C-alpha cells in the first residue's frame, strides 16, 4: 500500500473533523508497548497460491475423522465425539491458540476476550446448548415455566451499558438525553413493532426469529424481510429519528459488522427479536466472563486437548474414491504431514473451501462474504478519570455515540474489580468497506494503536497516560455478512450438504456469526458422522 499520513489514516477510520482536531497536537502520538497478535497474513495466503506439496511417505497417518478449524463449531463437534465415546479423530487449528473468534488472552491479573464476549441465556427449547451449560455447572435449576436459571455470578454485572455523548456518559445504548418527543414516540413505536414479531407464530407454531436459525419460520411473510435492507424497513415503517437509526445501526455493526443500510431487514429484526421470550420482556440476560466466550472455547478444548494440533495449516483436502486425504503444514517446524481420513468436518469459513478442497467447483462458496475487523486489548494501570461527578460510571459495555467503532468492554468488570488496573477490549468493524482487508492489513501496529487511542481520547483525555500495553488482532474475515437476498436465498441450505466425504460446519451456514449457531452446526455434523463410524 502507498504510505499515508497520520491525518489521512485517522480521517479514513475516524472521520475528517475529529482527525483534524487530533492532529493539532504532536504530543498526542505517545504509544505504549504492544504488538500485532495472531498468525502472519502471509501464512494464510499460502492457501491462495495453490502450492504443489508432497508429503514424505513416513509423515502420513490414518484417522477416521479430521476436523479442520478450532473455532466453536469445530470444538463442539469434537466435544460431541468425546461425549459419545468416539475418539478416532484429530482437530487441526491454524493459530497457536484455540477458539477462533471466541479466542481469549491473559495477562498477570486478568483474562480478556479477543472477539466474542457474551452468550444470552438460551430458551428452554435449546436443549443441546443447555446440556453444555449444565455440564459446565452454569445452571442451578429451572423456573416455573421451565426456563433455566443461571447463577447471578455468571450473569453480566450491573451496570451493563453506557454511551458517551458530547462530553458526558449516560446509561444505556439508546440515547435519551436531549431526545425530542418525536424521537421518544418513534422509539416506543419501534418497540411495538419488535413486540409484534416476538409474538408472531406461523401455522405450525414456529417463531419468526429464534436461535438457532434452523428453527425459524420459513413463511413467505417472514422471508420477504430478507429482500430489503433494515434501513429500508425502518423507512417503510415511517421511522426517521436520527437517534433510532443510530441505535439500529449500532446493533447491526455490533453483531454483523454491517451498517443499517447494508444489513438484511430479516437480520436486523432477528437481532432485536430472537433473544426475547415474549413481548414486554427484556432480552435474555447475558452470560459473560472476563475472557468472554473464551471461557466456553477453553472448556470445550480442555475436553479434547489430546486431539488438538495447533499451528497446523490445512493446505489441501483431496477427495478419494473412499475417504479424503489432508495435507497440512506445521507452521512452526515447516514440516508437511498428511492424514488419510474417512470423513472431514470442515469448520473453516466457507469461502476457503475453493482454496482447500481439490477440484471444488461449487459456486455457492463465493456467496459467503465476510467483513474485516480489528480488536485491541489495552492494559491500563488505572481507570480513566470521570470528567463530571454525575457521569454514569464505567460499565461492562462502553459505547462512544459518534464513533464508527463499537467502543470497548471491560475485562475486570465481571469480577467486581472497580479500582486500579484493568483491560479494555476495543472493537472496530470495517463495515464492508471497499478494499477493507487491504486497508486493514496495510497498516502496522503503530498506526492501528494510534487509531484506537485517538478514538478513545474522545471520552478519555488521559487514555495515553494510562495504557501500559496495547496489543492488536486483525480479523480479515471475522464475520459473515447477512446482506439482503443472502440469508434465505437457498445458498446456506445448499452449502450444508456434504461434498463427497467432507461435511461443512461453521456459523457461516446460518448467515450470522453467533456462538449458538456455531455450536448447532458442530453438533449437527458430528451427529451425521457418528452413525457411520459406529456401524
Of residues 441, 285, 465, 469, the one with CA closest to residue 373: 441
DSSP string, 437-461: HHHHHTS-HHHHHHHHHHHHTTT-T
Tell which residue, 118, 114, 75, has the closest CA to residue 93: 75
Tally of CB atoms within 10 A around 267: 28
Q: Give the DSSP per-residue string, 169-198.
A: EEESSS--TT--HHHHHHHHHHHHHHHHHH
Using alpha carbons, list the distances in angstroms from residue 257 to 16, 69, 72: 22, 22, 19
Strand partners, 112: 105
Cα dihedral 140, 512, 257, 393, rounded to 10, equals: -10
Q: Are strands 335-346 and 370-380 parallel, antiparallel or unpaired?
A: unpaired
- pLDDT for 534: 58
CB atoms within 10 A of CB 163: 26
Q: What is the pLDDT of residue 182?
A: 98
Q: What is the DSSP letter of 223?
A: H
DSSP bridge partners of 373: 429, 475
- Measure the CA–CA gap between 383 and 169, rounded to whole angstroms: 15
- Position 16 scores a pLDDT of 82
Residues 261 and 229 sit within 8 Å (Cβ to Cβ):
yes
* Residue pair 435/476 in contact by the 8 Å Cβ criterion: no
| 351 HSE (CA, 13 A, CB side) | 15
Q: What does the H/E/C string look like for 334-367?
A: CEEEEEEEEEEEECCCHHHHHHHECCCCCHHHHH
Torsion from C-alpha of 284, 289, 291, 295, nearest 10 degrees = -80
Specify the 3-state DSSP secondary structure of 401.
Answer: coil
Report residue 422: phi and psi, to 5°: -160, 175
Neighbours of 345 (CB within 10 A): 29
Number of Cβ within 10 Å of residue 137's Cβ equals: 9
Backbone angles phi and psi of 349, in degrees to 5: -50, 140
Instruction: Please state whether the peptide bond connecting residue 212 to the residue before it is cis, i.e. omega within 30 degrees of 0.
Output: yes
Q: Does domain 6-30+370-480 have CATH number 1.20.1330?
A: no
CA–CA separation, 323 vs 532, rounded Å?
12
β-sheet bridge partners, residue 286: 120
User: What is 97-160 written as a DSSP string?
Assistant: SS-GGG-EEE-SS-EEESS---EEPPPTT-HHHHHHHHHTT---EE-TTS-EE--GGGBPPSP-
Q: What CATH superfamily classification does 157-284 receive? A: Guanine Nucleotide Dissociation Inhibitor, domain 1 (1.10.405.10)
Torsion 300-301-302-305 (CA) sign: positive
Q: Which residue has the cell 505517545?
A: 30
Per-residue pLDDT of the chain (535 residues; tens, 9 = 90+): 557 898 999 998 998 878 787 776 655 678 999 999 986 566 655 655 555 678 999 999 999 999 999 999 999 999 999 999 999 999 999 999 999 999 999 999 999 999 999 999 999 999 999 999 999 999 999 999 999 999 999 999 999 999 999 999 999 999 999 999 999 999 999 999 999 999 999 999 999 999 999 999 999 999 999 999 999 999 999 999 999 999 999 999 999 999 999 999 999 999 999 999 999 888 999 999 999 999 999 999 999 999 999 999 999 999 999 999 999 999 999 999 999 999 999 999 999 999 999 999 888 889 999 999 999 999 999 999 987 778 999 999 999 999 999 999 999 999 999 999 999 999 999 986 778 889 999 999 999 999 999 999 999 999 999 999 999 999 998 899 999 999 999 999 999 999 999 999 999 999 999 999 999 999 999 999 998 765 4
Looking at residue 44, what is its pLDDT? 58
Domain boundaries, the chain: 6-30+370-480, 43-105+292-365+490-533, 157-284
Query: What is the value of pTM for the model shown?
Result: 0.95
For residue 520, give the 3-state DSSP assignment: helix
| pLDDT score recorded for residue 386 | 83
Q: Does domain 43-105+292-365+490-533 have CATH number 2.170.120.40?
A: no
Amino acid at each position: 500500500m502507498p504510505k499515508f499520513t497520520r491525518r489521512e489514516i485517522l480521517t479514513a477510520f475516524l472521520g475528517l473533523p475529529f482527525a483534524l482536531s487530533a492532529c493539532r497536537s504532536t504530543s498526542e502520538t505517545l504509544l505504549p508497548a504492544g504488538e500485532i497478535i495472531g498468525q502472519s497474513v502471509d501464512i494464510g495466503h499460502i492457501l491462495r497460491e495453490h502450492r504443489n506439496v508432497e508429503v514424505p511417505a513416513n509423515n502420513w497417518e490414518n484417522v477416521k475423522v479430521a476436523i479442520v478449524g478450532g473455532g466453536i463449531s469445530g470444538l463442539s463437534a469434537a466435544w460431541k465425539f468425546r461425549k459419545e465415546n468416539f475418539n478416532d479423530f484429530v482437530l487441526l487449528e491454524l493459530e497457536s491458540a484455540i477458539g477462533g473468534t471466541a479466542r481469549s488472552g491473559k495477562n498477570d491479573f486478568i483474562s480478556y476476550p479477543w472477539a466474542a464476549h457474551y452468550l444470552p441465556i438460551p430458551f428452554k427449547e435449546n436443549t443441546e446448548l443447555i446440556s453444555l451449560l449444565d455440564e459446565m455447572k452454569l445452571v442451578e435449576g429451572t423456573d416455573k415455566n421451565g426456563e433455566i436459571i443461571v447463577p447471578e455470578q455468571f450473569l453480566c454485572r450491573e451496570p451493563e451499558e453506557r454511551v458517551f455523548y458530547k462530553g458526558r456518559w449516560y446509561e444505556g445504548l439508546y440515547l435519551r438525553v436531549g431526545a425530542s418527543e418525536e424521537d421518544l414516540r418513534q422509539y416506543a413505536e419501534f418497540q411495538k413493532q419488535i413486540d409484534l414479531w416476538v409474538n408472531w407464530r406461523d401455522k405450525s407454531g414456529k417463531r419468526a426469529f429464534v436461535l438457532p436459525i434452523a428453527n425459524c419460520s420459513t413463511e413467505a411473510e417472514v422471508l420477504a424481510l430478507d429482500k430489503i435492507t433494515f434501513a429500508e424497513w425502518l423507512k417503510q415503517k415511517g421511522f426517521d429519528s436520527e437517534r433510532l437509526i443510530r441505535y439500529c445501526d449500532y446493533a447491526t455493526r455490533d453483531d454483523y459488522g454491517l451498517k443499517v443500510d447494508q444489513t438484511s431487514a430479516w437480520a436486523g429484526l432477528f437481532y432485536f427479536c430472537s433473544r426475547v421470550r415474549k413481548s414486554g420482556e427484556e432480552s435474555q440476560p447475558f452470560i459473560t466472563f472476563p475472557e468472554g466466550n473464551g471461557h466456553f472455547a477453553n472448556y470445550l478444548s480442555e475436553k479434547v486437548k489430546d486431539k488438538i494440533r495447533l499451528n497446523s495449516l490445512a493446505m489441501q483436502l483431496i477427495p478419494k474414491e473412499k475417504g479424503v486425504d489432508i495435507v497440512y503444514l506445521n507452521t512452526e517446524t515447516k514440516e508437511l504431514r498428511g492424514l488419510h481420513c474417512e470423513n472431514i468436518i470442515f469448520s473453516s469459513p466457507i469461502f476457503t473451501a475453493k482454496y482447500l478442497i481439490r477440484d471444488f467447483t461449487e459456486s455457492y462458496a463465493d456467496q459467503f462474504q465476510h467483513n474485516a475487523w480489528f480488536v485491541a486489548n489495552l492494559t491500563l494501570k488505572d481507570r480513566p478519570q470521570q470528567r463530571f461527578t454525575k457521569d454514569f460510571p464505567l460499565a461492562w459495555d462502553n459505547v462512544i455515540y459518534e464513533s464508527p467503532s463499537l467502543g470497548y468492554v471491560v475485562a475486570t468488570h465481571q469480577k467486581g474489580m472497580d479500582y486500579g488496573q484493568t483491560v479494555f477490549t476495543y472493537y472496530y468493524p470495517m463495515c464492508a468497506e471497499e478494499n477493507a482487508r487491504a486497508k486493514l492489513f496495510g497498516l502496522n501496529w503503530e498506526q492501528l494503536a494510534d487509531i484506537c487511542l485517538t478514538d478513545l481520547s474522545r471520552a478519555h483525555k488521559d487514555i495515553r497516560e494510562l495504557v501500559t500495553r496495547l496489543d492488536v488482532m486483525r480479523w480479515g474475515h471475522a464475520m459473515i455478512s447477512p446482506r439482503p437476498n443472502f440469508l434465505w436465498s437457498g445458498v446456506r441450505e445448499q452449502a450444508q450438504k456434504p461434498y463427497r466425504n467432507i461435511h461443512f460446519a461453521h456459523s457461516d451456514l446460518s448467515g450470522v456469526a453467533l456462538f449458538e449457531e456455531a455450536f448447532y452446526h458442530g453438533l449437527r455434523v458430528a451427529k451425521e458422522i457418528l452413525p457411520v463410524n459406529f456401524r
